Amino acid sequence: MIRVILPYHLRNLAGVGREVSVHVDDPVTQRSVLDALEVGYPMLRGTIRDHATKLRRPMLRFFACGEDLSHEPPDSLLPVEVASGREPLLIVGAIAGG
């Protein structure tokens, strides 16, 4: 299972805790993880990436294993630690706004 940590407002929207787990078949990529996340939690569709373009919303970031993966291509493999479930994929909201 792939572990995903959601930002506060998306936890509330999905009615879940800080971390959720989703089953993802290989290859484990940003796209496959987000696809699985949106199947498990359809209320998150359109909130992390645009419905049509599938691009990450500009004020969200993807972190894992101490690295910013936000600008990696969506079909690049995620770190093996994420794919194995040892480390989570963090979806982080920008610390900005008033």
Partner 1 sequence: MSGIRVLVGTHKGAFVLTSDGTRKKWDVSGPHFGGLDIYHLKGSPVDPNRIFASQASDWFGQVVHRSDDGGKTWQTVGNEFKYDGDPGTHRWYDDTPHPWEFKRVWHFEPSLTDPDTVYAGVEDAGLFRSSDGGGTWQEIAGLRRHASGPNWAPGAGGLCLHTILLDPNNPERIFIAISAAGAFRTDDGGKTWQPINRGLRSEFMPDPVAEVGHCVHRIAMHRSRPDVLFMQKHWDVMRSDNSGESWQEVSGNLPTDFGFVIDVHAHEPETIYVVPIKSDSEHFPPEGKLRVYRSRTGGNEWEALTKGLPQRECYVNVLRDAMAVDSLDPCGVYFGTTGGQVYASANAGDSWAPIVRDLPAVKSVEVQTLP
Please identify which residue in 19, 43, 75, 85 interacts with partner 1, judged by CB under 8 A. Answer: 43
| Residue 5 near partner 1 by CB under 8 A | no
Is 25 or 52 the residue whose CB approaches partner 1 more closely? 52
* Span of 5-13, 25-33, 63-71, 79-87 interacting with partner 1 by CB under 8 A: 5-13
Give buried/exposed letters for 39-63 (b at 16+ CB in 10 A, else e).
eebeebeebbbeeeeeebeeebbbe
Provide the mask over 63-92, with x wherever binding to partner 1 is found by CB under 8 A and - wherever it is not: ------------------------------
Q: Considering only 22-30, 31-39, 42-50, 69-77, which stretch makes contact with partner 1 by CB under 8 A?
A: 42-50
Q: Could you identify the residue written with the tokens 């787990």?
A: 21
Strand order in the sheet with 67-68: 19-22, 2-5, 89-93, 60-64, 67-68
